[in-house]
Structure 1
Amino acid sequence: MQLFLLGSAMQRKSFSGMNCSIARALEEVGEWWSLLIVRECTQGATRFDEFQSELGIARNILTARLTRLTELGILERFALEDRANTDGYRLTKKGEELYPVLVALWQWGDRWLASCGKPPTALVEDATGAPIEPITVHAKGGAPLSFRDIRFAPGPGASAKTRRVIENRNQKVLGHP
């Protein structure tokens, strides 16, 4: 995200008007607390105090992030059975579909940032105990692909500018439009 220094305050640039799915996704979950809250949900957190304790986040920031994630339909509130007049938070289907994004970041961090090359946590399938496969982009037949193996094509929402960007990208990366 781009930040601009205006006087003594920093203001985030909005990507909501960009005709790019990555930019629009970052508009919703690109602020780091948002993905860490989603991570905590995948680790069983539901209550405000659990999020606050695990993340060490200021209460006002946590309140704002939970409100925003709920407004975006990534989280939903639900009544906690063990606490009268208290709501908890859980992932919606939209929020659950962020899990592969988290795992991809997790695996990338394990590969490139783990202290002494030793990741702190292993991800294993519950039923078998086998390590999960690395998240990669695959061809229909299963072969792994890099960005150099993929051609961009205009989708149904492509604007004239998007079509130019696609053509330029394919020329630069693939050597042909």
Structure 2
Amino acid sequence: MPVGELRQQRGFTLIELLVTLIIATIIAIMAVPAFTGFLARQQLASEVNEIISVLSFARSEAIKQRTDISVNFSPSNAITSNRRPESCRDNEIAEDSAENSQGSARYRYSGGCYWVTKSVAPDDILRVGQSTNISSPEQEFSLTFQSLGDADISSCPDSPCEMTLKATGGSASTSPVTLVIRTTGSIRRKESES
């Protein structure tokens, strides 16, 4: 090429860059709701697995130690006369004993909690955790696994005992998961009725 001749520059025009940016934005806007639903499903699956793990742990400890092991569940916003373990007392609201009819202190908590204890030593906490997704039962209850692996589910409102976990945050696309605990000590996911 002779000196003095101009070479044509190659590159992207401003319009081509803007069109590419608009297409990328549209794709991102379509992907955000799907990603949000994915995160809600993953969080729910994680919590279901954690609850199954806690129940299985309590059952195996009852068999191993040959003593009754209790799993206590305290859902959010349920009024109770029993205080939770220290690590689950977030946002504790104590009602004055003069306000309620029983004359004893009552407590309300903003989040759900579960903890595993020996029945003979209820202050000896073996495992504790918080749950935001337990939607039913709505009242406090406990399950006691006995030395042969059987479960005493008498304080559970349903027989067999059913716990439903629902994703928080109003994700309608995430189906709730129901766990069924039978008197034999078996822990299963309830098949969806569709």
Normalising by the smaller structure, the TM-score range is: under 0.3
More RCO (CA 8 Å, sep 6+): 2
Which has a greater percent of helix?
1
Normalised TM-score (structure 2) = 0.25
Q: In terms of Rg, which structure is larger?
A: 2
